[in-house]
Amino acid sequence: MFDLLAEGQDPRQRWKFRLTPGTVSVLGRAAETDLPVPWDAFISRRHARLEVKDGAVDVARTALDGNPVYFDGQPVDHFVLTPGRHFVIGSTTFTLENPPQELPDSAVPIESVTFDRAELRKVRYRDADRRIEVLSHIPEVIWGARTEPELHQRVINLVLAGVPRAEAAAIVSLDSGDRAQLIHWDRRRETEGTFRPSGRLVVDALRRQRRTVLHLWKGRMRTTEDYTEADGFDWAWCTPVVTSTGAPWGLYVAGRMNAPLLPSDRVEGAADLQPDVKFIELLAEIVSTVQRLSRLEQQRSALKQFFSPQVFSALGEDWSTDVLKPRECDVTVMFCDLRGFSQKAEEAQGNLLGLLQRVSAALETMTHHILKYGGVTADFLGDACLGFWGWPFASEEAPVNACRAALGIRQVFDQIHRQRNHPLADFRMGIGIAHGRAVAGKIGTSEQVKITVFGSVVNLASRLEGMTRELRVPIVLDEATANIVRPRLPEAEGRLRRLARVLPYGMERPVSVSELLPPESEFSTLTAAHLQQYEAGVAAFIEGKWDEAFQLLHGMPAGDRAQDFLSQWIIRSNRIAPPDWDGVVRLPNK
């Protein structure tokens, strides 16, 4: 029986599955596989076959046209995986581990001693220089470990280096039922066999006392006829390692009274072990601190891909996740989508990985500009990106910065479109921006959360993006955003023009929509006079003066596609508004 641990690049991309003898498991990206890895696009739907047999795991690549499986740094199609070793597919590492062993209660000690930290502080080291040398390596030991088994082995090595009279050391823990389990162990002399720590001692230290507990099975002035040694050892202690999350775990140290490395290290009772216990308590405290810092750094690294540098910096070095709690606030939401993705997906059935790389490049462009202008990336929906402004800190500039990001994205795609050989040259983009009240923050379930935004304004931004196709413009704003941006966005950065008043399919309230345009210096096709004339045509259209509106709209340059939307409505009615006309265009679909 083994445990297979999968670890992606994101700390949240992680699982552990139990592999049992005689079973065959399929590993792949598809949800219906035995070992699903949905986060890694470089893994095929059914990528590899794993079978437990003969004390190891037989691994065979089944997706021969997919990405290679790397084992020992080489691409292989078939290999045997043993505990402690790993293989890599895409950006995910798979490590085989021996599952924790449940420990027996073991012998009843003739003496059980708990240690008071205040008393231990008074204990002096005889070999302080060597102890300090060992402790100085703790940060590099923990930060340098690539997998949990490697971390466990490194910590055990530190224990044995710091306590010369210890014959064996182990990482122990308690499961959900408070049963003692052996995670990892090592002996100073490999020829002396396996190591089975005392489950009674582990439970006593990690659950009952919650501090270091020493058990003695032999001692000076005592006979041992009525007692048995614990797995060949005369003494052992267990020191808890404090963690903010996860199951309780600790450092277990054991040895014998008659087998010291040096005569001065001979053990005759609990007092002789006090300096070693003090050292292990200090080691446990440093390990706990470094692990918390490591976890904090992982969280900060994960958040960097959601927050702009400005927002991330504002959180400070001692940031608290309380600032990420969901709350209601005014936000500006941007929904940016790639046009033509569905068709490209059908055409690229033989090279979906290549299509994914192109889409990822497009999403990276969107994300870059969202973060550049102080926004938060909330989600990726296939070929679309959701960003928002106004959280975690309120800002009057949120709508303006959202528009700056949208204009930056449009500029990049316009430049790409002029490069025929560019991988994204045949893609177009559509952006919808809406402003309103929403709930933003860490949203999800007890098992998984993400930084996102929730509310009708998100749905509106998505609808506005969909309208870009019918309105024949790249960027569409709702009325709330346009009203804020018009007086604040300098004409040297961008311009707005009112397009129409529409009722989106499935919605009850009409929306006045506007287009966001680049400055005239970058987009000279439409001058300030053109925009003024166009808005006069829109006003005439809403008032029902359709003949006048038609004349004004047709005064636009031939390359301006926005005029087509209203012109088609006018032509269908022979330039005469319906008797019940209320100025609102009702869209027939999403």
Quote the domain boundaries for residue 583.
490-590
Q: What is the pLDDT of residue 546?
A: 94
The tokens for 554 are 């047709």
Residue 23's pLDDT is 87
- pLDDT, tens digit (0-9, with 9 covering 90-100), for 464-487: 999 998 999 999 999 999 999 999
| 391's tokens | 């959280």
Q: What is residue 465's predicted lDDT score, i.e. its pLDDT?
A: 93
444: left (phi over 0), alpha (psi -120 to 50) or beta: left
Tell me the average pLDDT across 554-570. 90
Contact criterion met (CB below 8 Å) for 169 and 160 = yes
Residue 69 lies in a domain: yes
pLDDT for position 8: 86
Q: Kindly state whether residue 476 falls inside one of the protein's structural domains.
A: no
Same domain? For 38 and 123 the reply is no
Q: What is the pLDDT of residue 224?
A: 40
For residues 177 and 551, the model is more confident at 551
Q: Both 588 and 516 in a single domain?
A: yes
Q: CB under 8 Å to 425, separation ≥6 — which residues? A: 416, 417, 419
Question: What's the CA angle centered on 505, arms 504 and 510, to 5 degrees?
Answer: 30
Q: Which residues pair with 54 in a beta bridge?
A: none
pLDDT at 295 over 60: yes
Helix (H) or strand (E) holding 358: helix 352-372
Interval 69-75 mean pLDDT: 91
Sign of the alpha-carbon dihedral angle for 395, 398, 400, 404: positive
Closest CA to 182 of 106, 117, 264: 106
Residues 273, 134, single domain; the answer is yes
How many whole angstroms from its chain centre is CA 162? 36
* 161 lies in some domain: yes
pLDDT of residue 191: 58
For residue 292, which amino acid is it? R
Could you tell me the two tokens for 380? 């990726």
Instruction: Give which of 330, 309, 482, 451 is closest to 396, Cα–Cα.
Output: 330
Q: CA-to-CA distance for 306 and 302, rounded, in angstroms?
A: 8
d(CA 478, CA 589): 18
Report the mean per-residue pLDDT for the chain: 83
Which of 181-185, 190-194, 363-367, 463-467 has the least mean pLDDT? 190-194
Shared domain check, 378 and 231 = no
- At residue 527, φ and ψ (nearest 5 deg) are -90, 175
Residue whose structure tokens are 């860490």: 442
* Pick from 158, 153, 161: nearest CA to 127: 161
Give dist(CA 405, CA 107) in Å, integer.
Answer: 69
Would you give the DSSP letter of residue 263? G
Alpha carbons 549 and 533: distance in angstroms, whole number = 10
Could you say which of 79, 99, 119 is where a domain stops? 99
Closest CA relative to residue 303, chosen from 289, 291, 314: 314
CA distance linking residue 315 with residue 554, whole number of Å: 52
How many structural domains does the chain have?
A: 4
Q: Hunting for tokens 């750094």 — which residue is that?
A: 297
Among the three residues 389, 412, 447, which one is the final residue of a domain in this structure? 447
Q: Token pair for residue 537?
A: 């045509």
Decide: residue 454, CB within 10 A, 0-12 exposed, 13-18 middle, 19+ buried. Answer: middle
**458 belongs to a structural domain:** no
Residues 111 and 254 in one domain: yes
CATH of the domain at 159: 3.30.450.40
CATH code, domain carrying 411: 3.30.70.1230
Mean pLDDT computed over 291-314:
67
Q: What is the pTM (predicted TM-score) of this model?
A: 0.55
Amino acid making up residue 162: G
Residues 378 and 507 grouped into a single domain: no
Q: Is 213 found in the same domain as 136? A: yes
Pairing label, strands 24-28, 35-36: parallel
**Which of 267, 262, 184 is closest to 233 using CA atoms?**
267
Cis peptide before 260 (omega within 30 of 0): no
Give the contacts of 385 (CB within 8 A, at least 6 positions apart).
Answer: 335, 336, 337, 363, 366, 367, 370, 377, 379
CATH code where residue 72 lies: 2.60.200.20
Query: Is the domain of 338 the same as that of 271?
Result: no
Q: Specify which of 12-16, 105-109, 266-270 reaches the highest per-range mean pLDDT.
A: 12-16
Asked which of 333-342, 388-397, 510-519 is least confident by mean pLDDT, the reply is 333-342
Q: In whole angstroms, what is the distance from residue 54 CA to residue 46 CA?
A: 24
Please, what's the b/e burial string for 123-136 (b: 16 or more CB within 10 A of its CB; e: otherwise)? eeeeeeeebeebee
Tell me what pLDDT residue 306 has. Answer: 63
Q: What is the pLDDT of residues 527-537, one digit of tens each?
A: 999 999 999 99
b/e map of 349-388 (b: 16 or more CB within 10 Å)?
eeeeeebeebbeebbebbbebbbebbbbbbbeeebbbbbb
- Residues 19 and 139 occupy one common structural domain: no
pLDDT score recorded for residue 223: 39
Same domain, 430 and 561: no
Across the range 177-190, mean pLDDT stands at 82
Q: Identify whether 473 is part of a domain.
A: no
Judge residue 50's burial from the number of C-beta atoms within 10 Å of its C-beta, 0-12 exposed, 13-18 middle, 19 or more buried: buried
Segment 220-268, tens digit of pLDDT: 333 344 333 445 788 999 999 987 666 689 999 999 876 555 555 566 6
Residue with tokens 């710091």: 162
Q: Cα separation of 510 and 516, whole Å?
A: 19
- How confident is the model over 145-174, as pLDDT tens digits? 766 777 888 888 889 988 888 999 999 998
Say if residue 38's pLDDT is above 50: yes
Identify whether 465 is part of a domain: no
Does the structure show a pLDDT above 80 at 91? yes
Residue holding tokens 């027996």? 104
Q: What are the residue ranges of helices labelled H in 248-397? A: 274-304, 309-315, 341-347, 352-372
Inside any domain, residue 236: yes
Helix (H) or strand (E) holding 357: helix 352-372
Q: Is residue 336 part of a domain?
A: yes
Question: Cα dist. 574→476, 550, 578 in Å?
Answer: 28, 10, 10
Do 280 and 152 reside in the same domain of the chain?
yes
The residues pairing with 240 across neighbouring beta strands, listed in sequence order, are 250
Give the mean pLDDT of 306-330.
Answer: 70
Please name the residues in contact with 286: beta carbons below 8 A apart, sequence gap of 6 or more: 135, 138
33 plus 113 within the same structural domain: no
Instruction: Mark which of 294, 316, 336 sits at the end of a domain.
Output: 294
Output the DSSP codes for 95-129. Answer: EEEPPPEEPP--PPPSEEEE--HHHHHTPPPSSHH
Percent of residues, the chain, with pLDDT higher than 90: 37
The token pair at 109 is 């000690």
CA quadruple 160, 163, 167, 173: dihedral, nearest 10: -70
